[in-house]
Structure 1
Amino acid sequence: MKTYIFLFLAIISEIIATTAIKASEEFTRLWPAVIVIFGYALAFYFLSLTLRKIDLGIAYAVWSGAGIIIVTTIGAVFYKQKPDMPAIIGIGLIISGIIVINIFSRNSGH
């Protein structure tokens, strides 16, 4: 269970950092740029902790997949960046992949 908390914290940190990139306006605004750097540092730290129990490829797939899904949603809601149908289908496939990994993979830390 602790491993999944670390993975969750890695995902949240990465989402905050990625969202702050837009707010940093190409790193011309100090505090959003600091959030980017600190957020990614935390994300990689927590991701490294998950690797004690979960294989690298599996942890990275869940981390990056969840990040894509949530950042796309944030972009749609806060920045009015609406994904088109191929993007929605692709995100649906990512969600399906994460579900398959977590239910069926023996390498996912169960």
Structure 2
Amino acid sequence: MPGYLYLTIAIVLEVIATSSMKALDGFNKPLPLLLVVVGYPVSLFLLSLVVKTVPVGVAYAIWSGMGIVLVSIAAVFIYQQKLDLPAVLGMSMIVGGVAVMQLFSQTTAA
């Protein structure tokens, strides 16, 4: 179970780092820069711990898929970006794919 806890933290840090990139303003804003410079390496470090107990394909699918969805949701609230129906449908398929892997795949138990 610590693998999935680390994975959750890695996803949150990656989402914070990615969401902060737009606010960097050419590396002129220190807080967003700090969030990016700390968020990505720590996220990748945690992901490297996750793959010790969770199959790498499963871990990466969850990390990247949930990252896509959560960054898109964060952008709606932070930057007032709009998500149209195709974007929402596509992200729903990503979430559905991760759910199918978790619920039905024998790979996740490896």
TM range (shorter): over 0.9
Kindly state the Cα deviation for residue 55 of structure 1 after the two structures are TM-superposed. Answer: 1.5
Unaligned runs of 5+ in 2: none
RMSD over aligned CA atoms reads 1.3
Contact 1:21 1:27 in 2 (8 A): no
| Count, aligned residues | 110
In structure 2, C-alpha distance between the alignment counterparts of 1:51 and 1:94, rounded to whole Å: 20
TM-score (norm 1): 0.92
In structure 2, C-alpha distance between the alignment counterparts of 1:27 and 1:52, rounded to whole Å: 34
Match of 2:62?
62
| Displaced runs of 4 or more, over 3 A | none
In structure 2, C-alpha distance between the alignment counterparts of 1:47 and 1:17, rounded to whole Å: 15
Give the structure with the larger helix fraction: 2
Matched, 1:38 2:35: no
81-90 or 19-28, which deviates more: 19-28
Contact 1:54 1:107 in 2 (8 A): no
User: In the TM superposition, what whole-angstrom CA distance separates every residue of 1:18-50 from its partner, at most 9, and x where no partner exists?
Assistant: 111112123222231121011001100110011
Partner SS for 2:27: coil
In structure 2, C-alpha distance between the alignment counterparts of 1:14 and 1:53, rounded to whole Å: 20
